Amino acid sequence: MENILQIIKNSSALTKSLFLTIIGLPIIFLVQLIFYLIIAKWVSGFKKDKNKDNKK
């Protein structure tokens, strides 16, 4: 990884931009996926609790 970074650091702005795109979009996707999973889990957990309370 260090070697790749070193090559990118020494390359042109265009290459850096392409590299930024290649790693940037998947990272944003991953971050949003983490938030998605947290929200989905939180909402479904809340639903289960609510159903339990209703049964009681």
Q: Which residues bind other proteins (CB under 8 A)?
A: 5, 8-9, 12-14, 16-21, 23-25, 27-29, 31-36, 38-40, 42-43, 46-47, 50
Q: Is 29 left (phi over 0), alpha (psi -120 to 50) or beta?
A: alpha
Min dist CB 8 to other proteins, Å, is: 6
Cβ atoms 35, 28 nearer than 8 A: no
Min dist CB 56 to other proteins, Å, is: 18
Using DSSP's 3-state secondary structure scheme, residue 33 falls into helix
Cβ-based nearer residue to other proteins, 39 or 56: 39
